[in-house]
């Protein structure tokens, strides 16, 4: 048996070395594959986080632009409201003068129906329509800005 062991020992050692090399190569390949998967996963997560940050920044920018448009619209509404108050004051003065003049003057030189009141009512309706239109325009512009920002931030497919 000693002779058999001595003859088979180099083959057994060679087979063990070949098995160790094969197992080492497989282990090295598996570890490299796992490292590649981990690196790809990290790169994907980083791209996703970068895309989410870009989308949030664009959303914030569009929101700030929308708030600026709302502030501009509110300033314009204040101007219109001031002019409306001025027109209402003029209408009150005109009505007051008309009542004073009605007692002093008679005849057919009086004005017809209250055309100033009709103009004042039209101004009021126009003011409300302007407010509604400005609010809708702000919303549409804000949404269009957000959508264009998202389309620019989205990766091409």
Look at residue 65 in the predicted model and tell me its pLDDT. 84
Element (H, E) at 33: helix 2-104
pLDDT higher than threshold 70 for residue 72: yes
Predicted local confidence at residue 85, as pLDDT = 85
* pLDDT for residue 120: 74
Give residue 108's pLDDT.
55
pLDDT of residue 45: 94
User: For the whole model, what pTM was predicted?
Assistant: 0.47
Enumerate the H helices of 105-155 as residue ranges.
Answer: 115-153
DSSP state string for 37-68: HHHHHHHHHHHHHHHHHHHHHHHHHHHHHHHH
Q: pLDDT band at residue 105, thresholds of 50, 70 and 90? A: low
């Amino acid at each position: 048996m000693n002779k058999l062991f001595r003859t088979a020992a180099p083959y057994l050692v060679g087979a063990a070395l070949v098995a160790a090399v094969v197992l080492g190569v497989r282990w090295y390949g598996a570890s490299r594959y796992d490292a590649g998967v981990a690196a790809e996963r990290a790169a994907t997560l980083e791209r996703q986080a970068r895309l989410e940050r870009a989308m949030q920044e664009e959303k914030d920018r569009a929101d700030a632009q929308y708030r600026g448009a709302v502030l501009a619209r509110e300033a314009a509404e204040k101007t219109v409201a001031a002019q409306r108050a001025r027109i209402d004051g003029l209408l009150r003065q005109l009505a007051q003068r008309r009542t004073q003049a009605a007692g002093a003057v008679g005849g057919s030189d009086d004005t017809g129906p209250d055309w100033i009141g009709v103009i004042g009512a039209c101004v009021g309706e126009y003011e409300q329509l302007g407010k509604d239109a400005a609010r809708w325009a702000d919303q549409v512009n804000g949404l269009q800005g957000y959508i264009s920002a998202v389309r620019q931030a989205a990766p091409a497919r």
